[in-house]
């Protein structure tokens, strides 16, 4: 039995974009709505079925401001370098748009109504197995959260630049050093109706059948 509307499901999956310029900075996001979405996101796969993921939902303006300062600390130079690449004509139009909207976010992050920091308890191990299990146990849930929020009209953007100031951010949030911040999601209702799917290479160009480099027929 086909019980999903595939058109709608695929639209959700393909149009859940990283929202930066279209975050509504004027409208608060109710924590209850986010809690509903976390209940959805908690159904994502987790290694060993061990529930070690946590979420810090920040709607306190002072803490948001502090996190934005952490973000700017490294992000400003990083994105200015990106801007220089754009001005030198070294990147394509898509990359240029990403730089432009990333700079917008950097300049407005302190104004967002909410930031969500997904957390995994523990620290990643060095081995490939350890890394894959650690990140693989938390990243699917974060993406599910982005999808669940987007279905409710709330946009997010996956960002990591604040992690250059990981300790400062941890201090603001009262995190112990036994846990790991996964990302920083600016969170706000989005403006406008819909999003255009990102341009990506077609499946046939990125998929091999049975063996490396063996394309589908
Ligand atoms: C692991 C990871 C880290 C990212 N870090 C940042 C970041 O710090 N700042 C930012 O503006 N975007 C960040 N992005 C977003 C990307 O730059 C890019 O905009 C995005 O993947 C394009 O997605 P879209 O097609 O959904 O818009 C990150 C994305 C990923 C997956």
**DSSP assignment of 131-170, as one string?**
HHHHHHTTHHHHHHHHHHHHHTTEEE--B-GGGGGHHHHH
The number of domains in the chain is 1
Distance CA 214, CA 207 (A): 8
What range does the domain containing 91 cover?
Answer: 20-193
pLDDT score of 46: 95
Confirm whether 213 is domain-assigned: no
Note whether 19 and 190 are within 8 A (CB). Answer: yes
3-state helix, strand, coil in the chain (%, to 5): 50, 15, 35
Q: Which of 45, 37, 40 is nearest to 136 (CA)?
A: 45
**CATH number of the domain where residue 110 is located:** 3.40.109.10
| C-beta of 207 in contact with ligand 1 (< 6 A) | no
Tell whether 99 is covered by a domain: yes
Q: Is the dihedral of CA 47, 179, 160, 81 positive or negative?
A: negative
Domain contains 10: no
Q: Tell me, yes or no, whether 164 lies in a domain.
A: yes
Could you tell me if the CB of 160 is within 6 A of ligand 1? yes
pTM, to two decimals: 0.96
Handedness of CA 198, 203, 205, 206 (dihedral sign): positive
- Residue 41, domain member (yes or no): yes
Cβ atoms of 209 and 216 closer than 8 Å: yes
- The pLDDT of residue 45 is 97
**Which of 68, 101, 109, 157 for mutating ligand 1's site (highest number of atoms within 8 Å of CB)?**
157
Block means of pLDDT (10 residues each) for the chain, 217 residues, are: 91 97 98 98 95 98 98 95 91 91 97 98 96 97 98 98 98 98 98 93 97 96
Distance CA(117)–CA(142), nearest Å, equals 9
Query: How far separated are the first and last CA of the chain, in Å rounded?
Result: 29
Beta bridge partners of 180: 120
Does residue 114 belong to any structural domain of this protein? yes
**Residue-level pLDDT at 194:** 87
Sign of CA dihedral 38, 42, 45, 46: positive
Q: What is the pLDDT of residue 2?
A: 78
Domain contains 120: yes
**What per-residue confidence (pLDDT) applies to 168?**
98
Nearest CA to ligand 1 atom 6: 159
Q: Is residue 14 situated within a structural domain?
A: no
Best residue for ligand 1 mutational test, from 17, 94, 159 (most atoms within 8 Å of Cβ): 159
The reported pLDDT for the residue numbered 1 is 65
Give the DSSP H/E element, type plus range, for residue 82.
helix 61-87
Task: Please tell me the distance from the alpha carbon of residue 10 to that of residue 157, in angstroms, as a whole number.
Answer: 19
Q: Which atom of ligand 1 is nearest to the CA of 102?
A: 11
């Amino acid at each position: 039995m086909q019980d999903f509307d595939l058109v709608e499901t695929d639209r959700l999956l393909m149009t859940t974009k990283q929202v930066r310029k279209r975050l509504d900075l004027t409208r608060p996001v109710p924590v209850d709505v986010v809690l509903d979405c976390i209940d959805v996101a908690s159904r994502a796969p987790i290694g060993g079925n061990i529930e070690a993921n946590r979420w810090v939902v920040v709607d306190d303006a002072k803490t948001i401001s502090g996190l934005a300062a952490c973000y700017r600390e490294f992000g400003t130079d990083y994105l200015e370098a990106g801007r220089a690449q754009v001005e030198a004509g070294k990147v394509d139009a898509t990359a240029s748009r990403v730089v432009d909207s990333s700079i917008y976010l950097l300049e407005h992050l302190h104004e967002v109504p909410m930031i969500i920091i997904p957390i995994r308890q523990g620290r990643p191990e060095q081995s490939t197995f350890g890394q894959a299990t650690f990140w693989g146990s938390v990243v699917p849930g974060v993406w599910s959260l982005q999808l669940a929020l987007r279905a409710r009209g709330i946009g997010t953007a996956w960002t990591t630049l604040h992690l250059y100031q990981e300790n400062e951010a941890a201090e603001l949030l009262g995190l112990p050093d036994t846990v790991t911040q996964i990302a920083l999601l600016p969170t706000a209702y989005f403006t406008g109706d819909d999003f255009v799917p990102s341009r990506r290479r077609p499946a046939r160009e990125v998929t091999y059948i049975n063996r490396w480099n063996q394309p589908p027929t």
